[in-house]
Structure 1
């Protein structure tokens, strides 16, 4: 496979990073290039920063295997569930403005959330058993994935339930799988947060993002609908062939998305997303733009689910996702918008770091104790792909080693 890349700035910087000058680091270049050469991933863009400066930026491999287009810092990626952080930020902005409440019944904003039943197992004929929840859903439940909404990709009971829905059209399409506050499960909670943001703000979610988050921060490549020039910079999604090589999936057909919920379905670049991470790392502000108050950012950085374990998911479809446990033997919890690692990770982030990911193996982390944030973007299935995670871990360790050595 022909490979190409660069660890320094390529072309004009993103407007969101115009004040920064990325630093080249040979050791990090080697890590990323080796990941592509070894066919761990088809291509990669990775960046790391402190609160106010970029400490590394690298891009290696092709945007699509078999083509001449090379990865570059402005390569556009589908970041899937990494949009959940933006939706969470939007909700917390409205909490600050007293338009949303963390602990009031969410049905006072969206009445549909007051009629969602709990799936209470199946009878001996396989018929789903439904009952009312024992407490109302809150924004806090939705932000922390303690609502009871669960994705079928990581919940066999939901898969079984959806099969029943095909023959019984009277069944509700999205039940809770447990009572709010009793468990953690990753699911469509943030889609419901997006709807709350729309109702409370009186505008579509994409417009809310543009006016309150991406526009003020200069994140001009973070969008639901790509322009022609952005689509020309898009990386392809890849799958592995039996021999370890990669096959690029056909690019999606250009369409205008009119329904956007905030749980997935957005595009971005590494520089754009790192800008958001820097703002949060810096207490909610960056270069004269304030997203959130420092006390709100602090609240988003705290464990919000007590002793409930988070972040461990068993796949129901190995072609789309491997089993998920990014940090074995590390205690994991959930805050508002992120998974938290309560323990330090060997050679990398410190205790209290924040993180999450997107289905196509895009990842970020914020380490408040070290003052470091990082992002690494790849486009390959399945999610939590072992070779992609290996490169992510190697990049993270390399960042911390480079900082110690500086």
Structure 2
């Protein structure tokens, strides 16, 4: 057995080393990790605390903000619509949501410092949204337009919960011409809502969470979920010291105007492991319920951006994200994950997919080896060295034992 007591001992030690000690420049406050194969979780580890300064330990049922690991779940909801014949990935998205057809492209700043916009040369398609080639960005990573609109013109930020966070920003370029990471999946969520006639939360609960048994995942936290919430922590870019930031909670209740398909879910690591396992079983839930067809996953796994350069994401705000190491390899983009086009140094094979969430959440899905991992943390900025490299060590450990 590859994931026997030897692996468990090594993985437990890694998590204990990352979360142990009192050095606020290096410690990770708390981690929850799952390793799954097609049959179920083969390892679950939890170490540290939910909040620095508290004695209550983090546990496998602790609640995490999923941030951008939300995107893959939104993509599954879109792919289900494709299977039902309700969504064509290559038709203009405005056929399903007219509002997206009104979005214009940023052209220049006028003399008064206001944005001048122009009509796009091409129409946005759902496939562009799912592959981040529609033209949208994030205000904390794009300095020329989005950051200025946010800082100088009061456009809302990622944690605002406002509809205008999705609908207010212009395109950076003509749809389909470049790759840029941004609010694409938030728009995809609005399209899903328009087609289903339901909120995105209700869609996910009916079509994804219920069949998969993801009973502790939602845009709106229940009192039980809130009681188990892991606090978001920040490591200061000036001092390197880590501190708890309990105020950093995405909007809930009446303050939440829309469900953000790109970053808004809360849930448990164990729930996400069920989602990963569905892909390892070619679209089947543990219960045997079918969530996606195998051929749908096969098509979604294909590189959607071949021929379009996929540059590294360049962070702008060091409180939110810092540069992460890259070996310079060109990666692809599937629906909706990064796809390895050559094997990783860890041993993870080409063809596997992965992505992450803002607070150093990481996962990968390796259908070749029927293997998936989710690594749960709540530490800002993204790329925090202790947390980021901890995941790299875990991935290497998994493939060493495999």
**TM score, norm. by length of structure 2:** 0.88
* Cα gap change, 1:120 to 1:70, in 2 (>3 Å): same
Deviation at 1:23, TM superposition (A): 9.7
Which residue matches 1:160? Answer: 148
Q: Within the alignment, does 1:203 sit opposite 2:198 as a pair? A: yes
> For residues 147 and 252 of structure 2, what CA distance do their matches in structure 1 show?
29
How large is the Cα RMSD of the aligned pairs? 2.3
Q: How does 1:6-405 map to 2 (within 5 A)?
A: 25-37=8-20, 39-122=26-109, 126-157=113-144, 158-162=146-150, 165=153, 173-240=168-235, 245-251=241-247, 252=249, 255-256=252-253, 257=256, 259-287=258-286, 288-310=288-310, 312-324=312-324, 327-403=326-402
* Matched residue count: 378
* Cα gap change, 1:311 to 1:366, in 2 (>3 Å): farther
> For residues 302 and 186 of structure 1, what CA distance do their matches in structure 2 show?
18
The SS at the match of 2:243 is strand
> For residues 27 and 205 of structure 1, what CA distance do their matches in structure 2 show?
40
Contact residue 120 and residue 130 of structure 1 kept, 8 A:
yes
> For residues 301 and 34 of structure 1, what CA distance do their matches in structure 2 show?
35
Residue deviations 1:346-388, cap 9 Å, x none?
A: 1231111211111111111111222211000011110122221
Contact residue 40 and residue 391 of structure 1 kept, 8 A:
no
Deviation at 1:163, TM superposition (A): 5.1
* Cα gap change, 1:284 to 1:120, in 2 (>3 Å): same
Deviation at 1:190, TM superposition (A): 0.6
> For residues 330 and 56 of structure 1, what CA distance do their matches in structure 2 show?
30
The SS at the match of 2:195 is helix
The SS at the match of 1:351 is coil
**TM score, norm. by length of structure 1:** 0.87
The SS at the match of 1:156 is coil
Deviation at 1:274, TM superposition (A): 0.8
Q: Structure 2: any 5+ residue segments left out of the alignment?
A: 156-166
* Cα gap change, 1:166 to 1:75, in 2 (>3 Å): closer
Q: Structure 1: any 5+ residue segments left out of the alignment?
A: 1-20
* Cα gap change, 1:164 to 1:247, in 2 (>3 Å): closer
Deviation at 1:308, TM superposition (A): 2.4
The SS at the match of 1:152 is coil
